Structures are given as C-alpha cells and as structure tokens.
Amino acid sequence: MSEKRTYKRYELKGGRKVVYVGITDNPERRESEHRQDGKKFTKMNVIGSAVTQNSAEKWEEERLQSYRKHHGGKNPKYNKTDK
C-alpha cells in the first residue's frame, strides 16, 4: 500500500525574508499555531502540491541545509538551531 500524499511544505515569510521552514498536514491550523506562539510573519507560502510525509521531511531538511549554506550556517529565525 502506498503512503498517502497529505503533507504540505511551507515557508513563513517576514516581508521577503524566510523566517521559518516547515511541513504540515493542516496548513490553516499550523499557521494559527505559529501566530499563537508569537511568531511574527507576514505570509505563509505553501510550496507545491501535497506529498508523502517521508518526502516532506526530506524536503524540509534539504531546504534548511540550503538556507544554512547561504546564510552563514544559521537556520531561519524561528527554526530550531539543533538540526
């Protein structure tokens, strides 16, 4: 049986700056949770169509690696620094 494609990949942006990279199976709920947690952002960009959880997790790690490569080894503002 194949894995269901229920996960969305997303970035939170503060203006033009990426402040968080993540995955979720419910973008509306997750956006609300981020706002309740006090994260400051202007837009949530959902990237592409739904994918499997495994594919989403792989994308997230690769996206964070790419971000760090171009930002002096640092993660986006709200991503944990221990990845």
C-alpha 65/C-alpha 55 separation (Å) is: 15
For the stretch 45-81, pLDDT in tens is 999 999 999 999 999 999 999 999 999 999 999 998 7
For the stretch 6-32, pLDDT in tens is 999 999 999 999 999 999 999 999 999
- With 0.85 as the threshold, say if the pTM is over it: yes
Q: What is the pLDDT of residue 3?
A: 85
For residue 9, the cross-strand partners are: 23, 47
